[in-house]
Amino acid sequence: MENILQEIKDKLIANGQDPENYLKGLKHNRAINYWEYVMVDTLLTLQNPRTDFKDETIFIVYHQITELVLKLIRHELDQLCLSEMQPSLFVEKLNRMVRYTDLLCSSFSIMNQGMSYEDYNQFRLSLSPASGFQSAQFRFIELMCTDIDLLIPAYLRNRVTTETTIEEKFSMLYWQEAGFNRETNKKNKTLSDFEQKYLPLFVQSAHTMKTHNLNNRYKLILPKLNETEQKSFIEALRNFDRKYNIEWPMVHLETARTYLKSKGETKTATGGSHWEKYLHPAFQKRIYFPDLWSATELENWGVEK
């Protein structure tokens, strides 16, 4: 006890604080409680359905859950890409990202099976032109994971030169396919609203991540690990790539098929993309760590068996 008190006193003095006043203040502190710490009451005010359909609340809450899980992935990526750490910690943190992605994949049944088809197809009409496509965290994650050039579809990649600016690269990214008509040169509202809000931040992130993205970083870390650690490291990277860029897109696409392409008709998505084609991982070929996959694995990326 004495020791701890002395350590606290030393710390306060080192920070230029008066230990006596600090202790007097402590006397008045209310005990911490769960609801304030987790901010439960605030959290539960963040759901604002636009219609009276009961299942719209499930839709909103599940999107919010996903955004929180994406925040956890970004939290690990921030450390992996931007801080110095023991090489062995890399595997630990990557495995956390794998676990979070597993959670996203397994819980997606809440969407696929957990809403009334009829209700969903009514309340979604009031959401256009909003779309999950406009999830900024989803885009930040990809900029942190890989080189921006690898997010450009193969058929455009040969137009990239050393002169191509990051801003120009953004107009070539795979996700432009969801809302940019290359023939008319026009963007739909979902895409243009999204870019108006976030493009400057994406460009800034792409500049920072040019040298710090995970696809660059793992290549620097790998030689510092022993053989066993190297194996676990590569396995964790491959797991994340596969789960995030094939498994999640597939459960998401299956869900879109459930609600938008059953009962004999194909419905237009709220974000207006040619969604059946666009969302398919075999079409997007979003692959963060291509050097870790064989030519056949790359060729068959996301192909349904």
Query: What are the residues binding ligand HEM (CB under 6 A)?
Result: 62-63, 66, 111, 131-133, 135, 138, 175, 178, 252, 255-256, 259-260, 269-273, 275, 278-279, 284
The rounded distance, in Å, linking the Cα atoms of 128 and 152 is: 27
The token pair at 40 is: 């439960």
Are the CB atoms for 180 and 191 separated by under 8 Å? yes
In the complex with ligand HEM, the residue whose CB is nearer, 90 or 179, is: 179
The token pair at 50 is: 């636009």
In the complex with ligand HEM, the residue whose CB is nearer, 9 or 99, is: 99
In terms of DSSP H, where are the helices of 213-294?
214-221, 227-242, 248-260, 275-278, 281-284
How would you classify residue 75: left for phi > 0, otherwise alpha for psi between -120 and 50, otherwise beta? alpha
Please report how close the Cβ of residue 184 comes to ligand HEM at its closest, in angstroms.
17
Please report how close the Cβ of residue 225 comes to ligand HEM at its closest, in angstroms.
32
If residue 187 lies in a helix (H) or strand (E), which one and from where to where? strand 186-187
In the complex with ligand HEM, the residue whose CB is nearer, 107 or 164, is: 107
Are the CB atoms for 269 and 131 separated by under 8 Å? yes
In the complex with ligand HEM, the residue whose CB is nearer, 221 or 256, is: 256
In the complex with ligand HEM, the residue whose CB is nearer, 72 or 222, is: 72
Please report how close the Cβ of residue 62 comes to ligand HEM at its closest, in angstroms.
5
Are the CB atoms for 269 and 260 separated by under 8 Å? yes
In the complex with ligand HEM, the residue whose CB is nearer, 232 or 258, is: 258
Please report how close the Cβ of residue 300 comes to ligand HEM at its closest, in angstroms.
19
In the complex with ligand HEM, the residue whose CB is nearer, 68 or 85, is: 68
The rounded distance, in Å, linking the Cα atoms of 12 and 29 is: 18
Radius of gyration of the chain (CA): 23
Residue 180 DSSP class: E
170 closest CA partner among 142, 130, 190: 142
Angle ∠(89,91,95) on CA atoms, nearest 5: 120
The rounded distance, in Å, linking the Cα atoms of 217 and 235 is: 16
Are the CB atoms for 89 and 217 separated by under 8 Å? no
The residue number whose beta carbon is nearest to ligand HEM equals: 271
In the complex with ligand HEM, the residue whose CB is nearer, 246 or 269, is: 269
Residue 158 DSSP class: T
Angle ∠(68,191,55) on CA atoms, nearest 5: 50
